[in-house]
A and B are shown apart, each in its own frame.
Chain A
Amino acid sequence: MKGSMNEALPPQIEPADWPELSYRLGLTDGLPTFPPERRVVAGLIAGSGFPADHVVGSIPPSGRAASVELIAANAAMAGCLPEHLPVVIAAIDAMLEPRFNLAGVVTTTHPCWPLVIVSGRAVTDLGMATGESLFSGGGARANLAVGRAIRLILWNLGGGHPREPVQEIMGHPGRMAFCIAEEPNNTPWELLHEARGLRGVESAVTVFACEGPQIANLWGVATPSTIVASSDVATPSNDAASSNVATSSDVATPEAAGVGARWLELVADQMCARGNSNTHTLGEMLVVISPSMARTLAGWGWTRCRVQEFLWQTARRRLGDIRVEPDGSPALGPSAHYDWWPDWIDQSDPDARVPVTLSPEAIHLVVSGADSIPCAAVCPSWGHLGGFAISRALPAGTAENEGRNQA
């Protein structure tokens, strides 16, 4: 799919010539694109709030400079509108923070890819989908256009092409477009960016390199009829700080507390599969909880922090099951030692319970998805090697074109 990468792009073409030209020059990963027409790009730049020649940074692995004009050219190919460009620029800026290790994320053998998570008012302003089919765009132009723009920027400016140099073994369908939005209103907890310290900010973008969603369906937990009627009582809190304070009196009944814990145990079980990188290297993980599940948990006294703490304590595996000798016995010798684990994990104890993230706060909770049955999705990450969550505030008033962005 690389095409003739060194062939120059003609300055002018007939519109009908674009599809084949874009494939021949390797300007797309295989999906069709819009032409990066100068007139359209100029409109996108005008929506960015930056001059065209402002350089956001160098995009690895090639190191080409990402000016706002070039970001806008790729965004035009993705079908972005001018109001989408601040989101794209903020996401790229976040990915270029050294801690994110974008070069590693793009080229690694591991199937992680930067997920763009939009939270706050911009979700409504841009017409982003938060309901059904969350991870596949939800039928909203903004979700897919933003995700697609990121892909094309990393393709055309970063040169992140399979094999040379991307070494990803299995691939990740999210590489084509990986952007979700957090439910801005119908949530009992503070928003992702608020929980990550961006308080007083209307809207934000968080990038986090992760695998595709792995679903935790809440099968097999008996729910007594006595608690069903009182379960869906929580309302969105206007006081973010107070929403994180839990007391035992918040829990409606012991039965309700038990159901909530059993649900979260199912999620925790999905988080600590033996083959995922987090189980072996910790790092960070994303857990998306559907609005109805979040409201129900909140009604039973579960705060965001309490859920994170419970998942951190529960999503653990026995060290003797994580590292094994050929005969299946625990691998405890020096050659099996994991240098990257913190000292508080006793690597000589086969019964040590090892978490999947470094801390409860490293479990990033997002409330989104269809507001129907309770459900959760788990996205493991690249572990301790990079792709850590980075958040950026978005400028206020991201869109004046509400309603234009639904596909």
Chain B
Amino acid sequence: MIELIDPRGSDDSAGVRLARRVRDASEIRKIGFLSNEQEHMTGPHFPGYTRILERALRERLGVSEFHREIKPVLSRPADSDMIARFSGYDGVINGLAK
């Protein structure tokens, strides 16, 4: 027999966990949009795309509440205050227009 050390450490030390995945679309009532980019005057941008998504989600799934945040730097994680403002939402859609 050999004695092992778990290379993952303890689960308690994980500072960040993935959010629970949405399993049933019919239960979604509140959706957040997290944009990796600012709104542009012209050309494609994710904040503009979220307005189209909002309309589709209202019409098709009956989603009633939306919240939007824009990350100041696209390549860096959203800070904890920004993440906290999505608390209670059923899902968050994150993106960047290309």
Contact = CB atoms under 8 A, between A and B. Distances in A.
Interface in B3-30: 3-9, 11, 13-18
Given A10-B4, A37-B2, A385-B74, A63 B42 contact: no
Interface size class on chain A is: 35 or more
B7 A70 contact: yes
Contacts of B17: 62
Interface in A144-168: 152, 156-157, 159, 164-165
A258 interface: no
B52 interface: no
A67 B76 contact: no
Contacts, number: 99
Given A62-B15, A335-B40, A103 B3 contact: no
B5 to A, nearest CB: 4
B75 A159 contact: no
A20 interface: no
Q: Which of A9, A62, A104, A386 has the most CB of B within 10 A?
A: A62
A73 B1 contact: no
Contacts of A38: 2-5
Nearest to B37: A339
B7 A27 contact: yes
Interface stretch (A11-19, A172-180, A213-221): A11-19
A60 interface: yes
Contact of A73 (B7, B43, B75, B77): B7
Interface string B40-65: 11110000000000000000000000
A8 to B, nearest CB: 8
B1 A14 contact: yes
Contacts of B18: 164-165
Given A62-B16, A62-B17, A104-B75, A335 B43 contact: yes
B75 A69 contact: no
Given A37-B2, A65-B9, A77-B7, A335 B75 contact: no
Given A12-B4, A35-B4, A77-B7, 16 more contacts: A9-B4, A11-B3, A11-B4, A13-B2, A14-B2, A38-B3, A38-B5, A58-B15, A64-B8, A64-B13, A64-B15, A156-B7, A157-B8, A335-B43, A382-B75, A386-B76
Give the 9 A-B residue pairs with the shortest CB-CB distance, closest first: A63-B15, A335-B43, A385-B75, A335-B42, A9-B6, A38-B3, A73-B7, A104-B75, A156-B7
Interface of B: 1-9, 11, 13-18, 40-43, 74-77
13 contacts: A8-B6, A9-B4, A13-B1, A15-B2, A18-B2, A27-B7, A36-B7, A61-B77, A103-B77, A156-B7, A157-B8, A382-B75, A386-B75
